[in-house]
Amino acid sequence: MKELSLTLENLDEAFPSSFTQEQLAKAKTIFLKKLSEEAHAFYQGKIQTVPKAPVVGFNWFNVWYTPGVSKVSTMIRDNNDSSFDLTNRGNLVAVVSDSTRVLGDGDCTPSGGLGVMEGKAFLMKYLGGVDAVALCIDSKGKDGKNDPEKIIEFVKMVQPSFGAVNLEDISQPNCYKVLDVLRESCNIPVWHDDAQGTACVTLAGLINALKLAGKNIHDVTIVMNGAGAANTTIARLLVTDGADPAKMIMFDTKGSLHAGRTDIQNDPRFYRKWEVCQATNPNHILTIEEAMKGADVLITLSTPGPDVIKRAWIRSMAPKSIVFACANPVPEIYPYAAKEEGAFVVATGRGDFPNQVNNSIGFPGILKGALMVRAKKITDNMAIAAAHSLADYAEKRGINPDNIVPNMEEASVFPHEAADVAMQAIKDGVARIKITREDAFQKAKNDIDHARSLTRSLMDNGFIKNPPPDMVQNALKYAISQV
């Protein structure tokens, strides 16, 4: 058995060299799931609460709590916006989910989403210097069905405690109404990361993939497989940024979207899908096999694979084709298979393959930017600004077909992204306060550096323990035994 470092950076090398590409991809998925199970049990979650104020002496509790804190309460009563300065509200995000569509696993019950929501909070802190709280809620009504109104009511009730809300893993069609109502009715940003976050990073990746392929976004034919919150929002941002909707075709489980889909037209809950029907696929192409012939781009966020997207479909695409297969936890087609069939750039949502097009490089910087200027909402323009910020950052440090977007290890990308988002919020007129780009960049950088230093200090001093060495090896042995 080969030794495997705790950084997991040499993961491919840990498996037998006799493994085929398919066996290796399967083994890595099994390994990561098993290791995640063991690591979560060992640490009992990923987030804890740590004070940010000192305890210099026992009497300081009279300052941090009663009677001294009464002054803070009355100040906030007289000016609610002062809560952003006098409490942690200005840097605090609620990660809200009813856990009805958790990754590729569907409805996991409310508490089943806690692992993902804690993970979201973990990344916000380490990558964006933002504090976050996981709030998984039961959205079922008396009839036993998930009710979007319950989520809307909950978020409206808790918004006085937070600077922003990150919606996550809410099934369609409820996700559309929840986001659109809350974006307009709340006084803080309400952001659906599965929709806007995924759309932002997908656009960033496509910008650079098209540069490498020598193609223009307005000229390319784009096929989109899956018509959930992510792809419908991706379509909207792509069109806003220059894509031609007449050259786009989207598919759901019943076929292609077009103006003749009366089933979608007659169901008002799917109004976002109907918008896509009206704007795209004017020739009413019906099958994905036909749509893929000569297509430049495939963006698929649908059912986990690995054989959802057929090799023959990739083979029929245009030269220098671009494939984003982003279902989790297993892409609709493995990167090696798409490459073997002629794809020029292949991206997935996973970090153990090249080109991770995942919202993890989007939401930490975007939310940080929105919080720094106390934005009232996150506009599509802010998401597009973040996409171009990510793409520009990657291009400046160098891109190639296997490296089109920054990754989570590139710490300096996040303050740049946050600053660009903050400037766009000011430009869009949704910011409560105005700051310069330099000030925004420096504040974001300082907060991110602090979060990373805090984590490192906790690790160095033993307050966060290293995982047991045999945890990784046992998960590796298990994965190999299952292939």
pLDDT tens for each residue of 383-409: 999 999 999 999 999 999 999 999 999
Instruction: Check whether 31 has a pLDDT greater than 80.
Output: yes
Annotated catalytic residue within 2, 43, 52, 65 = 65
**What is the band of 10 on the pLDDT scale with cuts at 50, 70, 90?**
confident
d(Cα 152, Cα 181) in Å, to the nearest integer?
A: 8
pLDDT in tens, 230-279: 999 999 999 999 999 999 999 999 999 999 999 999 999 999 999 999 99
- What pLDDT is attached to residue 194? 85
What is the percentage of the chain residues whose pLDDT exceeds 90?
85
Q: For the chain, what is the mean pLDDT? A: 94
Tokens, residue 173: 């069609």
* Per-residue H/E/C for the chain: CCCCCCCCCCCHHHCCCCCCHHHHHHHHHHHHHHHHHHHHHHHCCCCCCCCCCCCCCHHHHHHHCCCCCHHHHHHHHHCHHHHHHHCHHHHEEEEEECCCCCCCCCCCCHHHHHHHHHHHHHHHHHHHCCEEEEEECCCECCCCCECHHHHHHHHHHHHHHCCEEEECCCCCCHHHHHHHHHHHHCCCCEEEHHHHHHHHHHHHHHHHHHHHHCCCCCCCCEEEECCCHHHHHHHHHHHHCCCCHHHEEEEECCEECCCCCHHHHCCHHHHHHHHHHHHCCCCCCCCHHHHHCCCCEEEECCCCCCCCCCHHHHHCCCCCCEEEECCCCCCCCCHHHHHHCCCCEEEECCCCCCCECCHHHCHHHHHHHHHHCCCCCCCHHHHHHHHHHHHHHHHHHCCECCECCCCCCCCCHHHHHHHHHHHHHHHHCCCCCCCCHHHHHHHHHHHHHHHHHHHHHHHHCCCCCCCCHHHHHHHHHHHHHHC
List, in sequence order, every residue forming a beta bridge with 96; answer none if it has no partner: 135, 167
Instruction: Check whether 9 has a pLDDT greater than 70.
Output: no
The gap from C-alpha 404 to its chain's centroid, in whole angstroms, comes to: 17
Question: What is the per-residue burial (b if ≥16 Cβ within 10 Å, else e) of 210-236?
Answer: bbbbebebeebbbbbbbbbbbbbbbbb
Taking the CA atoms of residue 155, residue 156, residue 158 and residue 159 in that order, the dihedral angle to the nearest 10 degrees is 100
- What pLDDT is attached to residue 350? 86
Starting from the edge strand earliest in sequence, which strands make up the sheet with 322-325, in order?
Answer: 255-256, 248-252, 222-225, 297-300, 322-325, 345-348
Instruction: Check whether 17 has a pLDDT greater than 90.
Output: no
- Complete domains list, the chain, with CATH: 1-44+438-483 (no CATH), 73-188 (3.40.50.10380), 194-435 (3.40.50.720)
d(Cα 274, Cα 271) in Å, to the nearest integer?
A: 5
pLDDT in tens, 95-134: 999 999 887 788 999 999 999 999 999 999 999 999 999 9
- What pLDDT is attached to residue 14? 84
Kindly calculate the radius of gyration of the chain based on its CA atoms and give it in whole angstroms. Answer: 23
Query: Is 252:292 a contact under the CB 8 Å cutoff?
Result: no
Instruction: Check whether 2 has a pLDDT greater than 70.
Output: no
Instruction: Check whether 437 has a pLDDT greater than 80.
Output: yes
d(Cα 475, Cα 79) in Å, to the nearest integer?
A: 54
**Active-site residue, 310 included:** no
User: What's the one-letter identity of residue 451?
Assistant: A
Query: Is 189:370 a contact under the CB 8 Å cutoff?
Result: yes
pLDDT in tens, 299-349: 999 988 889 999 999 999 999 999 999 998 889 999 999 999 999 999 999
Tokens, residue 119: 């993970």
**How many residues in total does the chain contain?**
483
The mean pLDDT of 41-58, rounded to a whole number, is 94
Tokens, residue 137: 């809620």
List, in sequence order, every residue forming a beta bridge with 300; answer none if it has no partner: 225, 325
Annotated catalytic residue within 28, 34, 46, 120 = 120
Instruction: Check whether 291 has a pLDDT greater than 50.
Output: yes
More confident residue, 92 or 171: 92
**CB burial of residue 196 (10 Å; 0-12, 13-18, 19+):** buried
Least confident of 3-17, 126-140, 216-230, 425-439: 3-17
* Count of Cβ atoms closer than 10 Å to residue 141 Cβ: 12
pLDDT in tens, 172-228: 889 999 999 999 999 999 999 888 999 999 999 999 999 999 999 999 999 999 999
**Active-site residue, 120 included:** yes
Report pTM.
0.92
Backbone φ and ψ of 460, nearest 5°:
-65, -30
**What is the band of 8 on the pLDDT scale with cuts at 50, 70, 90?**
low
Closest by CA to 381, choosing from 412, 407, 420, 438, is 420
